[in-house]
């Protein structure tokens, strides 16, 4: 046994003492609950140098990708992270089903034994997350080293950026379940909206209307609809004072025609549902500062990234659902 190996075993033992209530049985119906995932992130963070919020962000990123691809295993398991067979067992390993940590390490595979049962089992969430975290920690501690490790692993700058951004959201709100939503306008204000996605728009060339318009008075507060990070903020000739927020499910929420932003909000800010981010206006359709070319309203759009391109989808049914959720919260 090497010194590093002894240290790992000792830390695993310590983690078991610290978190004895943890169990990740596949038979458990509630295995996929956020609290179980957070427990596993914390346990893995305790034995590697990778903070739990980085693991949470990477795990959610991989879960999003899996949901969009048919060539990867389903996402029923506790975690979304998946290291493929070749990387797990080692490129030159003749046994693609190898679960022996010793031979896997001989062949330079990433597979590790995370729960101390002597096997490096890729179907075991503890082994998978531990192997992933141990690999990231090889570049050393600290977020800059972790970013380099992520780049080495994914070979895609956008992926590193998205994981780092989402890590910040998990770190800010200190929880794994970031699934809550809010309607973008407080219900006590006057507003109206209809399904207008896909309608034709003339200004600046013929375009399809990629969103829902919520008509409301000037100065009506605009709230974040989801947890996320402000990815874009500033003037655009179509959207006026507009704002883009990316959520942990990798959905991009676009808010346009604002009269102003909420004070202190900037690129990189972490937001939560219901938090005021700006105020309804009629900015846009011209050079910087143009207002009043149409009645005041919030233009709200939703986009999904499939790893290659971003495409718009109809926010209307979501807006209706969030509106009734907010209404029920008040009762
Ligand atoms: Zn619109």
Q: How far is the CA of 211 from the centre of ligand 1 (A)?
A: 6
Q: How far is the CA of 216 from the centre of ligand 1 (A)?
A: 13
200 pLDDT above the threshold of 60:
yes
User: What is residue 77's predicted lDDT score, i.e. its pLDDT?
Assistant: 80
Measured CA to CA, the distance from residue 186 to residue 191 in angstroms comes to 9
pLDDT digits (tens, 9 = 90+) for 232-269: 999 999 999 999 999 999 899 999 999 999 999 999 99
For CA atoms 276, 279, 285, 289, the dihedral sign is negative
Candidate from 141-145, 162-166, 186-190, 206-210 with smallest mean pLDDT: 206-210
Q: How far is the CA of 323 from the centre of ligand 1 (A)?
A: 18
Burial (CB count within 10 angstroms: exposed 0-12, middle 13-18, buried 19+), residue 320: middle
Q: Read off the tokens for 73.
A: 């295993």
pLDDT digits (tens, 9 = 90+) for 92-143: 999 999 999 999 999 999 999 999 999 999 999 999 999 999 999 999 889 9
User: What is residue 203's predicted lDDT score, i.e. its pLDDT?
Assistant: 57
Q: How far is the CA of 109 from the centre of ligand 1 (A)?
A: 51
Measured CA to CA, the distance from residue 26 to residue 10 in angstroms comes to 26
CA-to-CA separations, 244 to 114, 239, 248, 265, 303, in angstroms, rounded: 39, 11, 14, 12, 10
Q: How far is the CA of 210 from the centre of ligand 1 (A)?
A: 7
2 pLDDT above the threshold of 70:
no
pLDDT digits (tens, 9 = 90+) for 19-64: 444 433 333 445 568 889 999 999 999 999 899 999 999 999 999 8
Q: How far is the CA of 317 from the centre of ligand 1 (A)?
A: 16
The CATH superfamily assigned to 191-330 is Glucose Permease (Domain IIA) (2.70.70.10)
The DSSP letter of residue 108 is T
Q: How far is the CA of 196 from the centre of ligand 1 (A)?
A: 8
Q: How far is the CA of 238 from the centre of ligand 1 (A)?
A: 10
Residue 10: other Cβ atoms inside 10 A: 11
Q: How far is the CA of 255 from the centre of ligand 1 (A)?
A: 9
Among the listed residues 246, 263, 256, the one whose alpha carbon sits nearest the alpha carbon of residue 163:
246
User: What is residue 22's predicted lDDT score, i.e. its pLDDT?
Assistant: 42
Q: How far is the CA of 237 from the centre of ligand 1 (A)?
A: 13
Global confidence as pTM: 0.83
Q: How far is the CA of 316 from the centre of ligand 1 (A)?
A: 12
Average pLDDT score over the chain: 88
Q: Read off the tokens for 328.
A: 């029920």
Cβ pair 55, 149 in contact under 8 A: no
User: What is residue 306's predicted lDDT score, i.e. its pLDDT?
Assistant: 66
Strands 240-246 and 228-236: antiparallel
- The residue ranges of every structural domain in the chain are 3-173, 191-330
Q: Read off the tokens for 310.
A: 């971003």
For CA atoms 216, 217, 220, 222, the dihedral sign is positive
For CA atoms 259, 265, 271, 272, the dihedral sign is negative
Q: How far is the CA of 304 from the centre of ligand 1 (A)?
A: 18
């Amino acid at each position: 046994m090497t010194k590093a190996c002894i240290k790992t075993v000792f830390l695993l033992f310590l983690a078991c003492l610290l978190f004895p209530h943890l169990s990740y049985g596949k038979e458990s119906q509630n295995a996929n609950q956020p609290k179980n995932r957070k427990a596993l992130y914390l346990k893995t963070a305790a034995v590697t140098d990778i903070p739990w919020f980085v693991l949470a962000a990477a795990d959610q990123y991989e879960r999003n990708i899996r949901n969009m691809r048919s060539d990867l295993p389903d996402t029923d398991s506790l975690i979304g992270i998946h290291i493929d067979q070749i990387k797990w067992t080692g490129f030159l390993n003749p046994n693609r089903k190898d679960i022996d940590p010793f031979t896997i390490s001989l062949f330079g595979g990433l597979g590790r034994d995370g729960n101390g049962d002597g096997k490096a089992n890729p179907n075991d969430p503890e082994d998978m997350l531990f192997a992933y975290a141990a690999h990231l920690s090889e570049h050393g501690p600290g977020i800059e080293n972790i970013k380099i490790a992520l780049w080495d692993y994914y070979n895609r700058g956008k992926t590193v950026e998205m994981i780092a951004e989402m890590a910040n959201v998990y770190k800010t709100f200190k929880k794994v379940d970031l699934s809550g939503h809010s309607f973008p306008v407080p219900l006590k204000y006057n507003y109206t909206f209809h399904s207008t996605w896909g309608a034709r728009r003339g200004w600046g060339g013929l375009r399809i209307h990629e969103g829902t318009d919520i008509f409301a008075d000037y100065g009506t507060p605009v709230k974040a609809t989801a947890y996320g990070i402000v990815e874009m903020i500033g003037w655009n000739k179509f959207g006026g004072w507009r704002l883009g927020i990316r959520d942990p499910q990798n959905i991009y929420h676009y808010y346009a025609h604002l009269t102003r932003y909420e004070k202190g909000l900037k690129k990189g800010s972490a937001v939560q549902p219901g938090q005021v981010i700006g105020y309804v206006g009629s900015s846009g359709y011209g050079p910087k500062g143009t207002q009043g070319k149409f009645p005041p309203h919030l233009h709200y759009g939703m986009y999904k990234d499939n790893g290659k391109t971003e495409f718009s989808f109809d926010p209307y049914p979501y807006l209706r659902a969030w509106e009734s959720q907010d209404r029920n919260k008040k009762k």
